[in-house]
Each structure stands twice: as C-alpha cells, then as structure tokens.
C-alpha cells in the first residue's frame, strides 16, 4: 500500500474555502463524526455515497482525531488504490486543525 501525502490544516482550510477539496472524517461511526466534525467536513458514509460521482482527480482529504493520522492515511490509501489520484491525510489530525484556529462544528 502506497503511503498517501499529508497536507497541513492551513492548506486544507484554503482549499475548502475555494471549493477545490473535500474534507472527510475517517470514522465509520456517525456519532464519532458528530463529536469531531471539522467545519466543512462530511461523514465517511456521506462520502461513500458520493464516491461514484467524483472525478478521479478530485482532491480528498481524510482526517482522524489523533495527531498520528494512520487511519486517515489508510482511508486515503484505499481511495488511491481505487484510482483517486489526489487522496490525502490531514497532517496532525483534529488537534492540528484546532491549533491552527479553525473551528469544529458544535454537536447539536
């Protein structure tokens, strides 16, 4: 399995604002996603439902709660194996996102 690229929170935030990237939570569990939802992110289940309609060049960034982004990288690697050339992992996970000053969505 090829190790996917990592991308920092500042770059992800800019790409989300410009609409050039999709940010996806690597959790299968929607309850965990709701607790750790980064602003602009979609759930893994929502992502899977859109996968067939995405361009193989679409930039997709996965994130995980912990700074060690192995699970996010694992999801990105699966996408690369399916032919999505631009799948990456958020460097530093949720903690890096918060340290950069970007918000989480408040759980309702």
pLDDT value of position 4: 86
pLDDT in tens, the chain (108 residues): 578 899 999 999 999 999 999 999 998 888 889 888 999 999 999 999 999 999 999 999 999 987 677 889 999 999 999 999 999 999 999 999 999 999 899 765
For the chain, the maximum distance between any two Cα atoms, rounded to a whole number of angstroms, is 38
pLDDT value of position 108: 56
pLDDT value of position 1: 59
Do residues 96 and 67 touch, judged by C-beta distance below 8 A? Answer: yes
| Main-chain dihedrals φ then ψ at residue 92, nearest 5 degrees | 90, -5
Q: How far apart are CA 61 and CA 25, in angstroms?
A: 9
Do residues 34 and 19 touch, judged by C-beta distance below 8 A? Answer: no
pLDDT value of position 107: 65
Q: Is 54 helix (H, G, I), strand (E, B) or coil?
A: coil
User: Bridge partners of 89?
Assistant: 6, 62
Cα 59–94–57 angle (5° rounding)? 5
Question: How many angstroms separate the Cα of 27 from the Cα of each of 14, 17, 18?
Answer: 23, 23, 25
pLDDT value of position 50: 94
pLDDT value of position 98: 94
- What are the residues whose beta carbons fall under 8 Å from the beta carbon of 107, sequence distance 6 or more? 34, 35, 37
pLDDT value of position 61: 98
């Amino acid at each position: 399995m090829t190790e996917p690229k990592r991308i920092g929170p500042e770059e992800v935030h800019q790409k989300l604002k410009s609409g050039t990237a999709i940010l996806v939570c690597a959790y299968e569990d929607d309850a965990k996603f709701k607790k750790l939802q980064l602003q602009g992110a979609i759930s893994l289940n929502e992502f899977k439902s859109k996968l067939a309609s995405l361009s193989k060049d679409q930039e997709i960034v996965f994130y995980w709660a912990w700074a060690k982004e192995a699970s996010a990288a694992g999801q990105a690697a699966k996408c690369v194996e399916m032919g999505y050339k631009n799948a990456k992992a958020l460097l530093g996970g949720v903690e890096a996102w918060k340290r950069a000053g970007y918000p989480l969505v408040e759980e309702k």
